[in-house]
Chains A and B, each alone.
Chain A
């Protein structure tokens, strides 16, 4: 009908739109709107309460809002709906181009800004990106990039020129002004802005830092005593005040102009890593001089130190490019910028001496120079060496150290499993296995995150088929603490004790057995005569140890290397992996016992890679339930480079309660409705296969309906509930390989297929690009991304090869 009436309708439209003289819809876009949009979005239909036939009649702001929404739909190919006729690429460009131009006339376009945000990373068409047809040379827009919290911390330490062990001292008066978002995915983007909050924090930081900077000189000048600290519990001080400041502070008369200038140059070098410009030097000179006149030498010079610390440049990385622009208008990073860019890609510290030397001596001007330095720094196992996540260290778990923690950070952010401790669980449902994060501990999830870290570190270290291994390995770490590393020797000693004494009188006359085997028992277990009579809570006694060995060695199993009664022992979470509880918890022994794997990693049944690791499953779960929607979204976005529209603001996304149905049934009940399914079809089929695990990450075949109505008895001290069988089927699509697409039986089947799909590999490469560039990819980055993908494939799956490729690409080298 509409096609036959096309011309009259168009005329009508034009009449309507001509009502506002300043607003006209040109003929071509009007025809396209008519053809593809008005069926559903005109007076009388108004699907989604959207009308596009009266644009000229609505107020300007309302029209611009509507056009912004329309542009997003057209650009992202979300409209027309799949089942409707689709415009050609040219038609889409025509319509989108007109809307874009109209929005820009009013400086009102929001799409460009949105496309900079992490959640819009996948909105660049994947096929187009990897088509090889994009020939536009790559570059990164010239920019300031807000330093990460970790770089900020290093920069403050640089201000004090701290080295060695002193560099790791906590700086009690410094609060990090920044936080990174904690969603799964790349977190540190160049879109961060300094705001009022950062300023407030920096004001107090600048106060503390400047006070500490001049403290040694003030002590020397006799202004304060060496032990005079405002807070008796906070007594840290740098050992020296830089001589340029000290000269002024110890002086009894006003400083000479040269002394003031030297102090300014020094503070610029410490804080901004460059000399002041002439104008800056002059402005700072005036400030310092007048402050000294007002408050004396010490306080006066301190005001200057503070002012430099408040420069926004202290908080931004600068990447502008320098030299002559090439034929495409691109400039290569200036050598100093390059030194910092490379170093911050490798870690959080600024460049090492060799890198700065290369920059200053003209050896950081070519791609080959970048290649040389990147390889050198990747080979350097000490400069960036450090803890994977020092912020998560507790008395229970200390994050492991690696040569390049930032590489680990990519995978941690990508998978998002470190968020597990933030999910608060009802621990009773775990039958006492799970502990929430609390004072001084990250609870069970702290252990699980550390164990997931160990898998990632193990894969990164091997550096072969890294993505595929991370996704499909059946090798896991558990209870792999410092003692566990020494396990083989310890266990052999214990086994020796068991074998020698199992038929002795250890039950009836343990003291006699101890006296007869003193050397062996002391060496293996620290048991000495007398312990047996007055056993303290945490000491090894022969009876305790032999009972423990009987329940482990005696059953053909290996005991865990931390004995159950050891003080502070909190290794009890093996049931989360569906393994038996460690023997001896609360003095109880189970059969079969946990057979502790001395050599790790080791195989765990029903698991495949990080996505089936309890840390990932918990991080992507709700407080009391699993979270198939979020898990599905994760797979769609992270492994299939796909997109899921935002939840419409009118939707109250809640799964209804029904204590007699599985979560899947309840979820299907609401999301299979047509208006919901258009988004949920992208998530649910990819998330529901993970229903083979509960929300604590335990493998299951049935879903327990944990509600008082469903109690059917007791299992020990825990309630026993009714349960229903789990349906773990799902559907995989868009892998780029039709033989992999289709119904999957469970998460393990789906993961196997995903790991074989080039699209999965490419999707991870796209995220690696974002991590190392601090931004979303543009179409012009196509060659960089294809090169990184090729580097991975040709190197047999080396992530190092990906890093080298990215950090020597045009996207990394050039600014425009």
Chain B
């Protein structure tokens, strides 16, 4: 097993290694907590498989006029403070002031249906072939804007029935984000492996320490070799080796800085009970464990961006209240099959309610961490959305979004329930428009992020101007 951990640890090294010293203003041995430095924004992308029915996000207290518009998919918005949340969203009740529900975004340029790979984060038709990854997903683009030692962390409740390359539940495998064209990211399947890898620099385990030293030794050796080789070259030949040598050096430098953060990192290592490390943990436990890892990584300053595949259609769900002992095939749920005495819709509701519990846990914790003149949540945005659209066999006509925004968010979302014009109608907006808004708001001037929908016969480029601060 030692070897496995060794492999995984280094696979992670490769994942986190893009944060180069020159890109790390937020990185220092001094924690940001309580500091007066302007804190970075944090972004959490929680996405789930099997679709998310738009109807379940509708506030139950809407008046007739709004309900009519809702039924006809006509654009409108309401002030959420004047409305109740659907029952399954009740865990967010305490944070309602920060909540926005956005309906009507389409993603027909994405792969939809059972599995969507990087589609919903990249806004293109991704599939099992690496060549389908056209560019970095939006979370990685944000990570470039808010650099951190590990740049980006991805956690996943992996599918075991297709949907990713190999499907080991507890290991590290290709995830649902992408670092660049044809460059899949790697995600942690279990909280245990995630802790091992993310917090390895402060591990108390002797074997872990030895391996950590070995990693450093090989990197140092490789750096010496390549630097020496480059020293005797000139022009483009020097660049061919020099780039490689300096990249090794940059990783060493990153590691050195992480080492300098040891005290802070040590303080925030998640203290997970044994049930979160067990290979037999149920899905609910796995999700909570991942949430704890996510929080620790953000609070310790190791990363500012987390992608969290909270479930995927191919994941066999366990731990659902009322049917705890059942292994629920989410594909069957997609096709409306009841399990035991629970209808498919009820199962959806319970799992989605748990997702909101996780969101509540994140918001509550981040609100408890002082930062600047407020809390870490002030500098956080959380997005919860389906990776494949409006339903199990979706056409990508709707990607409902639940958004929690801290007060320093640069998006003008407000405390609203918003239904945008439906697909094909004047003023309709796509996932690409939404992410363009997000990127523009935080300093990436990209004209448009994502592929276009050839079915839309009007200009579909650019941000959603109403969502940008004036």
A residues contacting B by CB (< 8 A) are 113, 116, 143-144, 146, 172-173, 175-176, 179, 191, 193-201, 203-204, 207-208, 211, 218, 224, 228, 230-234, 283, 287, 290-291, 294-295, 299, 303, 306-307, 310-312, 316, 391, 424-426, 428, 436-440, 623-624, 707-708
Residues A624 and B454 in contact, CB atoms below 8 Å apart: yes
Q: Give 18 pairs: A residue, B residue, CB < 8 Å, sorted on A.
A: A194-B244, A197-B179, A197-B183, A199-B17, A199-B251, A200-B15, A204-B11, A204-B13, A211-B6, A230-B1, A230-B8, A283-B221, A303-B214, A307-B221, A311-B222, A424-B454, A436-B125, A439-B114
A230 touches B18 (CB 8 A): no
Query: What's the minimum C-beta distance from B99 to chain A, rounded to whole angstroms?
Result: 34
Q: Is B349 close to A, CB under 8 A?
A: no
- A294 vs B455: C-alpha distance in the bound complex, in angstroms? 62
Q: Which of B155-195 contact A (CB under 8 A)?
A: 165-168, 171, 173, 179-184, 186
CA distance A218 to B3 in the complex (A): 10
Contact, CB under 8 Å: B11 / A172: no
Q: Contact check: which of B18, B131, B454 meets A623 at CB < 8 Å?
A: B454
Is B85 interfacial (CB-CB < 8 Å)? no
Top 7 nearest A-B pairs (CB, nearest first) are: A230-B4, A426-B454, A196-B247, A204-B14, A194-B244, A623-B454, A231-B168
Question: Given A312-B229, A424-B451, is A306 in contact with B218 using a C-beta cutoff of 8 Å?
Answer: yes
Contacts of B7 in A (CB 8 A): 173, 207-208, 211, 230
Instruction: Give the complex CA separation of A425 and B179 in angstroms.
Output: 26
* Nearest CB on B from A626, distance (A): 13
Is B131's CB under 8 angstroms from A391's CB?
yes
Output the nearest chain A residue to B207 by Cβ-Cβ distance. Answer: A295
Query: Could you tell me if A231 and B171 are in contact, using CB atoms closer than 8 angstroms?
Result: yes
* C-alpha spacing A471/B8, complex, angstroms: 51
Which residues on A sit within 8 Å (CB–CB) of B240?
A: 144, 146, 193-194, 312, 316
Number of residues from B at the complex interface, CB < 8 A:
68
B111 at the interface (CB under 8 A from A): yes
Q: Are A437 and B217 in contact (CB under 8 A)?
A: no
Determine which residue in B186, B214, B226, B237 has the highest number of CB atoms from chain A within 10 A of its CB, and name it.
Answer: B214
User: Contacts A424-B109, A439-B127 known; A303 to B237 CB distance under 8 Å?
Assistant: no
Chain A residues with CB under 8 Å of B6's CB are: 207, 211, 299
**Alpha-carbon distance A203/B7, docked complex (angstroms):** 10
Known contacts A179-B182, A295-B214, A439-B127; A172/B165 CB under 8 A: yes
Question: By the criterion CB–CB under 8 Å, are B14 and A291 in contact?
Answer: no
Q: Give min CB distance, B448 to chain A, whole Å.
A: 12
CA distance A708 to B426 in the complex (A): 13
* B457 smallest CB distance to A (angstroms): 6
Q: Which residue of B lies closest to A228 (CB)?
A: B1
Contacts of A198 in B (CB 8 A): 244, 247
**Does residue B364 face the partner (Cβ distance < 8 Å to A)?**
no
Contact A294 B214 (CB under 8 A): yes
Is B132 positioned at the interface, with any CB of A under 8 Å from its CB? yes
Q: Is B17 within 8 A of A424, CB to CB? A: no
Report yes or no: A200 in contact with B454, Cβ–Cβ below 8 A: no
Query: In the assembled complex, how far is the CB of residue A170 from the closest CB belonging to chain B, in whole angstroms?
Result: 10
Please tell me if the beta carbons of A310 and B218 are within 8 angstroms of each other in the complex: yes
Known: A113-B236, A196-B247, A391-B131. A439 touches B214 (CB 8 A): no
What residues of A have a CB within 8 angstroms of the CB of B181 in the complex? 179
Which B residues lie within 8 Å of A231 (CB)?
166, 168, 171, 173
- Taking a contact as CB atoms under 8 Å apart, the answer to whether B115 and A144 are in contact is no
Q: Which residues of A contact B35 (CB under 8 A)?
A: none
Q: How far is the CA of A124 from the CA of B113 in the complex (A)?
A: 51
Min Cβ gap A291→B in Å is: 6
Greatest chain A CB density within 10 A among B7, B13, B184, B454 is at B454
Closest to B180 in A: A197
A113 / chain B contacts, CB cutoff of 8 Å: 236
Does B10 belong to the interface (CB within 8 Å)? yes
CB proximity of B309 to chain A, nearest CB, Å: 17
Q: Report chain B residues within 8 Å CB of A233.
A: 166-168
Residues of A within 8 A of B2 (CB): 299
CB nearest to B163 among chain A residues:
A439
Check if B17 sits within 8 Å of A196, measured CB to CB. Answer: yes
Residues of B within 8 A of A211 (CB): 3, 6-7
Partner of A230, one of B3, B13, B213, B455: B3
Q: Which residues of B contact A436 (CB under 8 A)?
A: 125
Binding site for A on B (CB under 8 A): 1-4, 6-8, 10-11, 13-15, 17-18, 20, 109, 111, 113-115, 124-125, 127-132, 165-168, 171, 173, 179-184, 186, 210-211, 213-214, 217-218, 221-222, 225-226, 229, 236-237, 239-241, 243-244, 247-248, 250-251, 451-452, 454-455, 457
| Contact call B10/A232, Cβ cutoff below 8 A | no
In the complex, which of the residues B124, B129, B222, B250 contacts A391, with contact meaning CB atoms closer than 8 Å? B129
A260 CB to closest chain B CB (Å) equals 15
Residues from chain A with a CB closer than 8 A to the CB of B210 are 294-295, 299
What is the minimal beta-carbon distance from A738 to any residue of chain B, in angstroms? 42
Closest partner residue, chain A, to B226 (CB atom): A312
Is the beta-carbon distance between B113 and A439 smaller than 8 angstroms? yes
Residue of A nearest to B133 (CB): A179
Please determine whether A439 and B217 come into contact, CB atoms closer than 8 angstroms. Answer: no
Give, as a whole number of angstroms, the nearest-CB distance from A209 to chain B: 10
Q: Are B14 and A295 neighbours in the complex by a CB distance under 8 Å? A: no
Q: Are A294 and B17 in contact (CB under 8 A)?
A: no
Given A144-B237, A291-B214; A199-B247 close (CB under 8 Å): yes
Question: Measured between C-beta atoms, what is the minimum distance from B260 to chain A in Å?
Answer: 21
A392–B209 alpha-carbon span in the complex (Å): 44
Q: Is A438's CB under 8 angstroms from B3's CB?
A: no
- Residue among A204, A287, A424 facing the most chain B CB atoms (10 A cut-off): A204
Cross-chain contact B452 with A196 (CB below 8 angstroms): no
| B457 in contact with A194 (CB, 8 Å) | no
* Cβ contact within 8 Å between A194 and B14: no
Q: How far is the CA of A525 from the CA of B97 in the complex (A)?
A: 69
Bound complex: CA of A707 vs CA of B454, how far in Å? 12
Measured CB to CB, the closest approach of chain A to B131, in angstroms, equals 7
Give the distance to chain A from B394, nearest Cβ to Cβ, in Å: 13
Q: Return chain B residues, CB-CB under 8 Å to A224.
A: 3
Cα-based distance from A306 to B167 in the complex (angstroms): 26
Asked if A203 and B13 make an inter-chain contact with CB atoms under 8 angstroms apart, the answer reads: yes
Could you say which of A179, A198, A231, A424 has the most chain B C-beta atoms within 10 Å of its C-beta? A231
* Most chain B CB within a 10 A radius of its CB, from A176, A200, A208, A287: A200
Give, as a whole number of angstroms, the nearest-CB distance from B194 to chain A: 15
Evaluate contact between B171 and A230: CB separation under 8 angstroms. yes
Distance A312 CA – B14 CA, assembled complex (angstroms): 17
Contacts of A196 in B (CB 8 A): 17-18, 20, 243, 247, 250
Q: Are A438 and B111 also in contact (CB < 8 A) when A144-B240, A204-B14, A232-B168 are?
A: yes
Q: Is B217's CB under 8 angstroms from A291's CB?
A: yes
Contact A195 B166 (CB under 8 A): no
Besides A179-B182, A194-B240, A439-B128, 8 other CB < 8 A contacts? A144-B240, A175-B130, A198-B244, A200-B247, A200-B251, A299-B214, A312-B229, A316-B240
Q: Which residue of A lies closest to B241 (CB)?
A: A312
What CA separation (Å) do A425 and B218 show in the bound complex?
A: 48
Instruction: With both chains docked as a complex, state the minimum distance between the C-beta of B118 and any C-beta of chain A, in angstroms.
Output: 13
B131 touches A201 (CB 8 A): no
Given contacts A194-B241, A196-B247, A204-B14, contact A287 B214 (CB under 8 A): no
Neighbouring A residues of B20 by C-beta, 8 Å: 196
Residue of B at shortest CB range from A192? B240
Cβ of A707 and Cβ of B17 under 8 Å apart?
Answer: no
Q: B125: which of A116, A294, A295, A424 is its contact (CB, 8 Å)?
A: A424
Query: How long is the Cα–Cα vector from A316 to B124 in the complex, in angstroms?
Result: 33
| Residues on A with beta carbons closer than 8 Å to the beta carbon of B13 | 200, 203-204
Which of A228, A287, A311 lies in contact with B217, CB distance below 8 A? A287
B213 CB contact (under 8 Å) in A172, A203, A228, A294: A294
Residues of B within 8 A of A294 (CB): 210, 213-214, 217
Chain B residues with Cβ under 8 A from A207's Cβ?
6-7, 10-11
- Nearest CB in chain A to that of B244: its residue: A194
Partner of A312, one of B15, B115, B244: B244
